[in-house]
Amino acid sequence: MPDSVPSPFPPVIAVLLAGGTGHRAGFGRPKQLELLGDKPVLQWSLDAFAAHPAISGGVLVANADVMAALDGLPNGWKTAEPGIERQQSVDHALQSLSDWSDETLVLVHDAARPGLTAATIDRLLAALSSAEAVIPTLPVPDTLVRQDAGEAGDTVDRGALARVQTPQGFRLGTLRRAHAAAAATGAPATDDAQLVRQMGVPVQTVPGDARLHKLTYAEDMTILAGLLGQDRMMRTAVGMGYDVHRLVPDKPLWIGGVEIQHSHGLEGHSDADVALHALTDAILGALADGDIGDHFPPSDPQWRGAASHRFLAFAADRVAARGGRIEHVDLTIIAEAPKIGPHRPAMRARLSEILAIPLDRVSVKATTTERLGFTGRREGIAAQAVATLKLPEN
């Protein structure tokens, strides 16, 4: 029997489940074959297991079509036919491991979780030195409520809850007994840890990893691309905006989402925040989604006196709706007066808040035209903006 791990540590094998069809993802092919960066989703986990020095080999549970899309298997790996349900697929893998002893450690992993790291494997194996079963978990960050017919009910205490991930680790003998017992009783389970617990065996938990996000729906691919740094699935889009407003007496002056005490304010249909208007147009331009006038026409009385942060938040929401993100914004305010410098920190903080992006992705600058032109004569204020986005490829 192969054993690349020094004694007395038991050998470790992996079971990688890649037999599902993944129809909910809507890719038109099994989701485990969809490209994440430059390789299929399945290959990410296969490579992670193959690169770990403690893993002696494994079983890939996949059909012939999936196998045909791969460039072979790592040394020490074999294949098993998938079952109709997950539980059957694991059982098929266990049957193919008949030559491994009960003391062998086995890690059962879903190929739809490509963000597997050596650190996660290490945590599982460390726990298996004293436990029969271990699973990675993450806390539940969201408020949970009971729901009935689309109506929210009582909240559920999330303090005692956790999100379960894979790989799940077991002593091979323990997992064999759990599947044999389930086959005898017909007890269903959505993962192997449930089967083990049904036998009364405690299941230890270790910290999971956000990168083990599961690919279920198409939008999960964008999340995974971000988590795993695979921006080749995203394209860079850059937009530019420019706006000008006249200065008039006896009106509040709003620039960059901040009210500035000054003798004059900016004239316009809304609050005339020239900086937010330029930045809104920059984002809409990067989206190829028209301009601020298309979405908020001056002829519409509902926008008279409106706060311009509503326009900018709208543009940010359009980015999110496309599955994109705002990488950076750069704003230049062109004014002879008032001085912008003292207000730059407040403007950056306000833009960061409206756009829901980190402060270090927001640049605000100011300049003059050396008393030339309408800004130099203090007749108005202008602003230029550049927005850099990451958008999913179509």
pLDDT tens column, 174-200: 999 999 998 888 877 889 999 999 999
How is the chain split into domains, by residue range? 12-229, 234-392
Place of tokens 């045909």: 68
Q: Would residue 2 be called left, alpha or beta, if left means φ above 0 and alpha means ψ between -120 and 50 degrees?
A: beta
pLDDT of residue 4: 39
pLDDT of residue 322: 80
DSSP state of 232: G
Torsion sign over Cα 384, 390, 392, 394: positive
**12-229: which CATH number, 1.10.486.10, 3.90.550.10, 3.40.1190.20, 3.30.70.1290?**
3.90.550.10
pLDDT of residue 3: 37
pLDDT of residue 35: 80
CB 10 within 8 A of CB 46: no
Distances from the Cα of 1 to the Cα of 4, 6, 12, 74, 75, angstroms: 10, 14, 12, 17, 14
Amino acid letter, 163:
R
Helices (H) and strands (E) in the chain, counts: 12, 19
Can you tell me the distance from the alpha carbon of 86 to that of 92, in angstroms, rounded to the nearest whole number? 10
pLDDT of residue 42: 93
pLDDT in tens, the chain (394 residues): 443 344 457 999 999 999 876 666 666 678 888 888 778 899 999 999 999 999 999 999 999 888 888 888 999 999 999 998 889 999 999 999 999 999 999 999 999 999 999 999 999 999 999 999 999 999 998 999 998 888 898 999 988 899 999 999 999 999 999 999 988 888 778 899 999 999 999 999 999 999 999 998 878 888 888 888 775 567 899 999 999 999 999 899 999 999 999 999 888 888 999 999 999 999 999 999 999 989 998 888 888 888 999 999 999 989 888 878 898 999 999 999 999 999 999 999 999 999 988 888 999 999 999 999 999 899 999 999 999 998 877 6
Amino acid letter, 125:
L
pLDDT of residue 5: 40
Domain 234-392 CATH class label: alpha beta
Torsion sign over Cα 348, 351, 356, 357: negative
Can you tell me the distance from the alpha carbon of 385 to that of 244, in angstroms, rounded to the nearest whole number? 12
SS3 172: helix
pLDDT of residue 122: 95
Q: Of the candidates 266, 234, 180, 270, which has an alpha carbon nearest to the alpha carbon of residue 388? A: 234
CB 89 within 8 A of CB 112: no
Can you tell me the distance from the alpha carbon of 272 to that of 252, in angstroms, rounded to the nearest whole number? 10
**Tens-digit pLDDT profile for residues 264-296:** 988 888 899 999 999 999 999 999 999 998 999
**Tens-digit pLDDT profile for residues 321-375:** 887 889 899 999 999 999 999 999 999 999 999 998 888 899 999 999 999 999 9
pLDDT of residue 24: 63
